[in-house]
C-alpha cells in the first residue's frame, strides 16, 4: 500500500506561534498571572501589585532600561505597539505583512519584549492607536474592516507571545475615545469582540481594559465586563490643568486653586479623593484595578512632592501604578516629562532628584535576573555609598563615609561576569569621580576595600 505524505499549511497566526519557539526559546506552557477577585496572582499564587514604568515613546528604550527599572524596584513595563498611529515614523501597521504588522516594527517589538522578559519584568503590551481610538473619523467604531485588521494584528501577537515568560496582560486599546456621535457602549462591545477573538489563540493571558474618554476615571463603571481574568486600568493625570499643560501651570503643589468660585485644597488628601471612585469600583465588582499612567512635567511647581504623594496614595489604597514615562527622546530640556531627558546632541540624562523620589516610592528592588557576584551579596557593611548620578552615561561621583575618608581605599569595578573593568587607589579624599564612559551600557558592581570594611554598590551605566 502506497503511503501519501500530507503537509499542513499553517496560517499566519499559527506560524507566528511556532516562531515563538525560535525567537524566545519558550516552553509550551508559559506561566502567567491570573486574577482572583481583587488580587492579581503570580504563578506561585502570591499577590503582585504593579509598580513600573511606561516605555511610552517608541524608539526610545535602550537595552539596559529593563534591568535599570528592576533595580529601582519596578516589576512592570508598559510597552506599546503603535498601530494606525498619527506619528507615522512609529506606526507599525502594514496590511501587506503577516499579521498586519511591519517586519521592522515586529523586530523592534520582539527586542523590547525580550529585554523585559529576560530580566524578570512583567510586560503590559498595549495597543496604541490614537487614530483608531477616535482621533480620525476612520476609526474602530465606524469602520469594521479596520477593526478586523486590528483583530488580526492582536491574534498574531498573542500567538507569537503566548509562550513568552512574564507577559502580564494584553491591553487591547489605550485610551479609547469614540466621538460624541458614536455610542459610548461601543467601547464595551469592542473589548468583548477583541477578547473573544484573541482568546481563541491564547486563553491564559489576562486582558487589560480601561474606560472611555482617554481612560477617564469617571467612566470606569461603563466598561465593566462580567468575564474572568480581566484587569482594569485608568489614567491619573489629575488635575489635568496641572499635570497636562504644555506650559508651566499657574498653580503649585501643594497649594490652593479656585475654579468657578470653588476653592480646592490641592494636596495629598485631594489626590486620595480622586482615586476613591477607582477603589469603589474595585470593591463593588471585586476586580483588580491599577493606574497605567501618572506623572507630571518637571516644570510643574512642586512636581517632586506631587510624584511622591501620588505614589503614597496608590500604595495606601493597594493600587498598582506605572510612571509616565521612562525616556523623553525629543531634543528638549530637563523640564519635560520623563525620568530621562535627551539633549540636542542626542545624549540622555537622568533627572537625579526624580530618580531618588521614584526609587523611594517603589520601595524594595525587583527580582532582576542578574546573578550578582558573591562579594556583593556578602558585603561586610550595611552602610550605603553615596553615588551620584546613578544611573549615569559616563561619570559617577563617589562620596565615602566619614570613617573611610582618610583612606587608603582601593576601588574596583566589575562587570556582571565578575571581570574587573576598573581599579584605582584613593587616599585622603572623601569624594572622587569615576569615569566609566568607555564601558558599554550595563550594570556594574562597585567595591570599595577600606582598612576595616568592604562596601559594595550597583552602578547602572546607560547610553
Measured CA to CA in angstroms, residue 331 lies from 90, 110, 245, 334, 355 at distances of 17, 26, 19, 10, 20
Counting Cβ atoms within 10 Å, is residue 99 exposed (0-12), middle (13-18) or buried (19+)? buried
236 - beta bridge partners? 294
pLDDT level of residue 356 (50, 70, 90 thresholds): confident
Q: Would you give the end-to-end CA distance of the chain in angstroms? A: 66
Cα diameter, the chain: 92
Q: Give yes or no for residue 429 having a pLDDT over 60.
A: yes
Given this model, what pLDDT does residue 396 score? 93
pLDDT of residue 21 exceeding 50: no
Give me 52's grid cell. Answer: 513600573
Q: Are 313 and 275 in contact (CB under 8 A)?
A: yes
- pLDDT digits 0-9 by tens, 265-290: 999 999 999 999 999 999 999 999 99
Question: CA-CA distance, 327 to 66, in Å (whole number)?
Answer: 12
Question: Cβ(36)–Cβ(172) under 8 Å?
Answer: no
Q: In terms of Cα–Cα distance, which of 365, 413, 357, 404 is closest to 385?
A: 404
Among residues 48, 92, 57, the alpha carbon closest in space to that of 348 is found at 57
pLDDT at residue 27 is higher than 50: no
Q: Which pLDDT score is estimated for 248? A: 87
Domains and their CATH numbers in the chain: 12-362 (3.20.20.80), 374-461 (2.60.40.3080)
β-strand partners of 47: 41
Mean pLDDT of 329-355: 85
**DSSP letters along 274-309, please?**
HHHHHHHHHHHHT--EEEEEE---TTSTTHHHHHHH
Q: What is the structure's pLDDT at 7? A: 37
| Segment among 50-54, 68-72, 206-210, 241-245 with least mean pLDDT | 68-72
- Residue 24 pLDDT grade (very low, low, confident, very high; cuts 50, 70, 90): very low
Q: Are 445 and 459 in contact (CB under 8 A)?
A: yes
- The pLDDT of residue 9 is above 50: no
DSSP secondary structure letter of residue 383: P
Distances (CA, A) of 348 to 244, 331, 335, 420: 23, 9, 13, 26
145 pLDDT more than 90: yes
Distance CA 134, CA 342 (A): 30
Q: Determine contact, residues 229/170, Cβ cutoff 8 Å.
A: no
Phi and psi, residue 250, nearest 5° = -80, -10
Lowest mean pLDDT among 133-137, 180-184, 379-383: 379-383
Higher pLDDT, residue 25 or 391: 391
Contact in structure between 131 and 138 (CB atoms under 8 Å): yes
Whole-number pLDDT of residue 418: 67
Is pLDDT above 80 for 65? yes
pLDDT at 364: 62
* Listed range (4-8, 129-133, 147-151, 393-397) with the worst mean pLDDT: 4-8
Residues whose CB is less than 8 angstroms from the CB of residue 252 and which lie 6 or more positions away in sequence, other chains included: 300, 301, 302
Residues, the chain: 463
Nearest to 281 by CA among 208, 229, 190, 210: 210
- In the chain, the percentage of residues whose pLDDT exceeds 70 is 88
What pLDDT, on the 0 to 100 scale, is given for residue 378?
40
Query: DSSP secondary-structure letter at 366?
Result: P
Higher pLDDT, 149 or 430: 149
Q: Which three cell numbers stand for residue 262?
A: 470653588
DSSP letters along 390-431, please? SSBSSEEEEE--GGGTTS-EEEEEE-TTS-EEEEEEE-S-SE
> What is the pLDDT of the chain when averaged over all its residues?
87
How many angstroms separate the CA atoms of 29 and 205, rounded? 11
Predicted confidence at residue 397, as pLDDT, reads: 93
pLDDT at 426: 86
Taking the C-alpha atoms of residue 370 and residue 42, their distance in angstroms, rounded to an integer, is 20
| pLDDT exceeds cutoff 80 at 8 | no
Please give the pLDDT value at position 384. 61
Quick one: average pLDDT of 179-189? Answer: 82
Cα distances (angstroms) measured from residue 308 to each of 83, 100, 173, 358 = 33, 41, 28, 7
Amino acid at each position: 500500500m502506497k503511503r501519501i505524505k500530507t503537509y499542513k499549511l499553517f496560517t499566519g497566526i499559527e506560524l507566528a506561534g511556532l516562531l515563538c519557539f525560535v525567537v524566545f526559546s519558550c516552553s509550551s506552557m508559559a506561566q502567567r498571572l491570573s486574577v482572583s477577585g481583587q488580587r492579581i496572582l503570580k504563578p506561585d499564587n502570591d499577590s503582585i501589585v504593579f509598580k513600573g514604568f511606561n516605555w511610552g515613546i517608541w524608539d526610545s528604550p535602550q537595552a539596559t532600561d529593563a534591568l535599570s527599572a528592576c533595580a529601582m524596584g519596578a516589576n512592570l513595563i508598559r510597552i506599546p505597539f503603535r498601530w494606525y498611529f498619527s506619528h507615522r515614523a512609529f506606526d507599525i501597521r502594514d496590511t501587506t505583512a503577516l499579521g498586519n504588522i511591519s517586519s521592522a516594527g515586529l523586530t523592534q517589538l520582539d527586542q523590547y519584549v525580550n529585554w523585559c522578559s529576560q530580566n524578570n519584568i512583567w510586560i503590559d503590551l498595549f495597543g496604541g492607536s490614537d487614530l483608531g481610538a477616535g482621533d480620525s473619523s476612520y476609526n474602530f467604531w465606524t469602520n469594521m474592516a479596520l477593526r478586523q485588521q486590528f483583530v488580526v494584528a492582536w491574534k498574531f501577537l498573542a500567538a507569537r507571545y503566548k509562550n513568552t515568560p512574564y507577559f502580564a496582560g494584553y491591553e487591547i486599546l489605550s485610551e479609547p475615545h469614540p466621538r460624541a456621535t458614536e455610542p459610548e457602549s461601543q467601547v464595551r462591545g469592542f473589548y468583548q469582540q477583541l477578547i473573544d477573538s484573541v482568546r481563541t489563540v491564547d486563553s491564559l493571558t489576562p486582558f487589560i481594559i480601561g474606560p472611555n474618554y482617554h481612560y477617564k476615571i469617571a467612566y470606569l463603571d461603563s466598561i465593566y465586563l462580567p468575564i474572568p481574568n480581566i484587569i482594569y486600568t485608568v489614567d491619573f493625570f489629575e488635575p489635568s490643568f496641572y499635570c497636562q499643560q504644555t506650559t508651566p501651570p499657574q498653580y503649585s503643589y501643594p497649594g490652593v486653586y479656585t475654579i468657578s468660585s470653588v476653592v480646592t485644597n490641592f494636596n495629598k488628601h485631594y489626590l486620595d479623593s480622586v482615586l476613591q471612585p477607582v477603589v469603589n469600583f474595585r470593591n463593588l465588582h471585586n476586580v483588580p484595578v491599577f493606574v497605567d499612567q501618572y506623572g507630571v512635567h518637571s516644570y510643574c511647581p512642586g512636581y517632586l512632592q506631587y510624584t511622591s504623594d501620588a505614589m503614597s496614595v496608590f500604595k495606601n489604597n493597594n493600587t498598582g501604578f506605572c510612571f509616565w514615562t521612562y525616556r523623553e527622546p525629543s531634543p528638549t530640556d530637563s523640564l519635560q516629562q520623563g525620568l530621562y531627558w535627551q539633549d540636542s546632541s542626542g545624549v540622555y540624562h537622568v533627572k537625579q532628584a526624580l530618580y531618588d523620589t521614584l526609587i523611594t516610592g517603589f520601595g524594595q528592588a525587583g527580582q532582576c535576573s542578574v546573578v550578582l557576584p558573591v562579594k556583593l551579596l556578602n558585603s561586610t557593611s550595611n552602610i550605603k555609598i553615596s553615588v551620584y548620578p546613578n544611573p549615569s552615561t559616563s561619570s559617577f561621583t563617589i562620596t565615602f563615609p566619614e570613617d573611610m575618608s582618610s583612606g587608603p581605599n582601593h576601588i574596583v569595578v566589575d562587570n556582571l561576569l565578575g571581570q574587573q573593568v576598573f581599579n584605582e587607589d584613593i587616599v585622603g579624599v572623601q569624594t572622587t569621580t569615576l569615569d566609566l564612559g568607555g564601558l558599554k551600557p550595563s550594570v556594574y558592581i562597585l567595591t570599595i576595600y577600606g582598612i576595616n570594611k568592604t562596601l559594595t554598590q550597583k552602578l547602572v551605566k546607560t547610553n
